């Protein structure tokens, strides 16, 4: 694979992001959405994350966007403000080529730089071995699973929970 570039998202990326996510929704279990959102909705989501101070990155090979990743609020209540949930989506043609690992590595670094202390992976489907192993390889530990919580493709799906400290994690108080 030619050189991979990681950079912050821009509004011009929405068409490719929407296409990648639509494929994941339609063909996979990483997302529990059943209908792919349109570009307007994906723009709204991106603006909310970026405007909220969360990292949102894209991966490019040449001029082609091949994946994206972002961290968003783990939960909306204020006490959770130092914890984020990661999301990573890679174009089907770029699977198993290191795009997800590179995106997640950069996302962890950027979340740490922004002062977040915990990253939670909420992985759709306990059969998502590549995603589980990617997170494990980058320092996440298994913290549990919620069994049979989603129903998609005519079957029940689990949600796997993994966690990784960022920066000093819980060993020191965060800056308010």
The band of 1, judged by pLDDT with boundaries at 50, 70 and 90, is low
8-state DSSP, 96: T
Classify residue 8: in a domain, yes or no.
Answer: yes
pLDDT score of 175 = 80
Residue of 30, 19, 23 whose CA lies nearest to 121:
30
32-85 pLDDT, tens digit per residue, is: 999 999 999 999 999 999 999 999 999 999 989 999 999 999 999 999 999 999
Classify residue 173: in a domain, yes or no.
Answer: no
Classify residue 174: in a domain, yes or no.
Answer: no
Classify residue 97: in a domain, yes or no.
Answer: yes
Q: In whole angstroms, what is the distance from residue 67 CA to residue 95 CA?
A: 9
Asked whether residue 21 carries a pLDDT value surpassing 90, the answer given is yes
pLDDT score of 2 = 74
Classify residue 171: in a domain, yes or no.
Answer: no
95-112 pLDDT, tens digit per residue, is: 999 999 999 999 999 999
* Overall domain count for the chain: 1
8-state DSSP, 92: G
110-155 pLDDT, tens digit per residue, is: 999 999 999 999 999 999 999 999 999 999 999 999 999 999 999 9
Range of the domain at 143: 4-165
Classify residue 172: in a domain, yes or no.
Answer: no
Query: CB neighbours (10 Å) of residue 117?
Result: 20
- Mean pLDDT on 22-33: 96
Query: CB neighbours (10 Å) of residue 158?
Result: 18
Classify residue 170: in a domain, yes or no.
Answer: no
Classify residue 22: in a domain, yes or no.
Answer: yes
Asked whether residue 29 carries a pLDDT value surpassing 70, the answer given is yes
Residue 125's CATH number: 3.40.630.30
């Amino acid at each position: 694979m030619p050189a991979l570039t990681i950079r912050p998202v821009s509004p011009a990326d929405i068409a490719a992001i929407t296409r990648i996510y639509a494929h994941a929704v339609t063909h996979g279990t990483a997302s529990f959405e059943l209908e792919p959102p349109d570009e307007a909705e994906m723009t709204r989501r991106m603006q909310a994350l970026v405007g909220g101070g969360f990292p949102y990155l894209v991966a490019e090979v040449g001029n082609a966007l091949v994946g994206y990743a972002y961290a968003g609020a783990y939960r909306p209540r204020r006490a959770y403000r130092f914890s984020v949930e990661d999301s990573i989506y890679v174009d089907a043609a770029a699977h198993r080529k290191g795009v997800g690992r590179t995106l997640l590595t950069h996302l962890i670094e950027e979340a740490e730089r922004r002062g977040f202390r915990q990253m939670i992976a909420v992985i759709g489907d306990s059969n998502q071995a590549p995603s589980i192993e990617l997170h494990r390889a980058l320092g996440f530990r298994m913290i549990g699973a919620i069994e049979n919580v989603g129903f998609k493709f005519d079957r029940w799906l689990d949600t796997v929970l993994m966690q990784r400290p960022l920066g000093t994690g819980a060993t020191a108080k965060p800056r308010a």
